Amino acid sequence: MNEQAPLESRVITVTSGKGGVGKTTLTANVGTALAQLGRKVVVVDGDIGLRNLDLVMGLEHRIVYDIVDYVEGRCRLRQALIRDKRAPELFLLPAAQTRDKTAINPQQMVLVCDELRQEFEFILIDSPAGIEQGFQNALAPADVVLVVINPEVSSVRDADRVIGLAESQGKQQIYLVINRVVPVRVKKQEMLSVDDITEVLSTEIIGIVPEDEAILSASNRGTPVVCNGKGPAALAYRDIARRLNGEQVPLEAPQSLGWLQRLFGR
Amino acid sequence: MEALNRLFTKSNSAQIAKQRLQTMLTYDRLEIPPGMLTLIKDDIVAVISQRVSVDREHVNVNLLHEQDSSKLVVDIPLIVGRGARTLRSAGAPGAR
């Protein structure tokens, strides 16, 4: 695994427009999964003032300096980076909690990412909700934009807006992640299907993550599900990481299991 | 009609969501508020009415969205008066 050729560094911004759709969880899990694949990864919390990526990853007690401290010259970049020992090369660059989104501007974010590119193959930025400066900061350095949506009307509408804004900034690699899919409800036609969403947004899909109870207990513990989980969300996050890592992994809409399959665990 | 549809497709709310989204996103992408359609309809009727009689009750202006394109579909029924009818029957070939 370690013998794979090094990759040209890429900045991947995780965004959505709407809040609460699973950006932070996705960033934590896909970042961790990429590091498990042997890549050098840093996850950056772009949500200044409302930081949470540290909490979801269980690294909150180790924060001394943050991204604003670095930008304002109070520390070196190395000092602000927190190593996550669960993978060989995984780091977190935390957001400041006591400042607001205007503490950093898009040009500064581009400079920070240029620094990070020297050391890392994957730089994942967890964008804040909304389309204001925090989002603009996260978008500016992006090579790849992952738009997280839930199969629900307000989330899809906001995603369309975000995709439009990313395109207007010249971003060409924009992919959708459909999060919290409940196959049984899709089957009953109570929930938008993957096909419905593809048709409405005409954007390529890079991942479909089923609703999974394991996510809540994982964030309760501060341990992303990809660390040891075997449930549907963990599998889906790992697949997304493998696709970002250049592997061909077929994309399948999750199926609802029959009672027999459920009984015998597939 | 919509109420009737809803009655018979009670559980199929995904389809409703999809249709509502397609309509809403068409407006979002065109950057016009949905109420603009009524104004456009009034404008069109006003222009056409200068030349012919329009059946205002049944004018229909709709946004149609297809895979990659949107179009304005305008259906304007005209009021065909006695004069016009006479003209047509007189001009028809083989009319006696």
Q: Which residues in chain B have their CB less than 8 angstroms from residue A178's CB?
A: none
Which of B18, B24, B67 is facing A157, going by the closest CB pair? B24
Q: How far is A50 from chain B (nearest CA, A)?
A: 29
- Cα nearest neighbour of B23 on chain A: A200
- Number of domains making up chain B: 1
Q: Is residue B25 a part of any domain in this protein? A: yes
Q: Is residue A84 a part of any domain in this protein? A: yes
Structural domain for B81, as ranges: 2-91
Is B14–A152 a contact, with Cβ atoms under 8 angstroms apart?
no
Which of A153, A157, A202 is facing B28, going by the closest CB pair? A157
**Percent of chain B scoring above 90 in pLDDT:** 28
Average pLDDT over every residue of A176-193: 95
Is B17–A202 a contact, with Cβ atoms under 8 angstroms apart?
no
Average pLDDT, chain B: 77
pLDDT beyond 60 at A117 = yes
Task: Report yes or no: A164 at the B interface, CB cutoff 8 Å.
Answer: yes
Q: Is residue A259 a part of any domain in this protein? A: no
**Which CATH number belongs to the domain containing residue A177 in this structure?**
3.40.50.300
Q: Is residue A262 a part of any domain in this protein? A: no
Give A111's pLDDT tier (boundaries 50, 70, 90). very high
Task: Report yes or no: B19 at the A interface, CB cutoff 8 Å.
Answer: no
* Strand stretches in A103-247, DSSP E: 122-126, 144-149, 173-181, 205-210
Distance CA A117, CA B34 (A): 45
Of the listed ranges A22-36, A126-140, B9-23, the least confidently predicted one is B9-23
Question: CA A17, A127, A173 angle in degrees (round to 5)?
Answer: 80
Give A109's pLDDT tier (boundaries 50, 70, 90). very high
Task: Report yes or no: B6 at the A interface, CB cutoff 8 Å.
Answer: no
Structural domain for A226, as ranges: 10-246
Q: Is residue B96 a part of any domain in this protein? A: no
Is A160–B25 a contact, with Cβ atoms under 8 angstroms apart?
yes
According to the model, what pLDDT value does residue B90 have?
A: 44
> Which pLDDT tens digit goes with each residue over A41-96?
999 999 999 999 999 999 998 999 999 999 999 999 999 999 999 999 999 999 99
Average pLDDT over every residue of A192-203: 93
Question: Are A69 and A80 contacting, i.e. CB atoms less than 8 angstroms apart?
Answer: yes
Average pLDDT over every residue of A257-263: 59
According to the model, what pLDDT value does residue A208 have?
A: 97
ipTM for the predicted complex: 0.75
Q: What is the largest CA-CA distance in chain B?
A: 59
Distance CA A245, CA A250 (A): 14
> Which pLDDT tens digit goes with each residue over B71-91?
899 999 999 876 554 444 444
Q: Is residue A264 a part of any domain in this protein? A: no
Average pLDDT over every residue of A194-210: 94
Tell how strand A82-83 and strand A90-93 pair up. Answer: antiparallel
Q: Is residue B45 a part of any domain in this protein? A: yes
pLDDT beyond 60 at B30 = yes
According to the model, what pLDDT value does residue A215 have?
A: 95
pLDDT beyond 50 at B11 = yes
**Percent of chain A scoring above 70 in pLDDT:** 95
Inter-residue long-range contacts of B20-25, CB under 8 Å, 24+ positions, other chains counted:
B20/A153, B21/A153, B21/A156, B21/A157, B21/A192, B21/A200, B22/A200, B22/B65, B23/B63, B23/B65, B24/A153, B24/A157, B25/A157, B25/A160, B25/A200, B25/B65
- Number of domains making up chain A: 1
According to the model, what pLDDT value does residue A59 have?
A: 94
Q: Is residue A254 a part of any domain in this protein? A: no
Average pLDDT over every residue of A14-34: 97
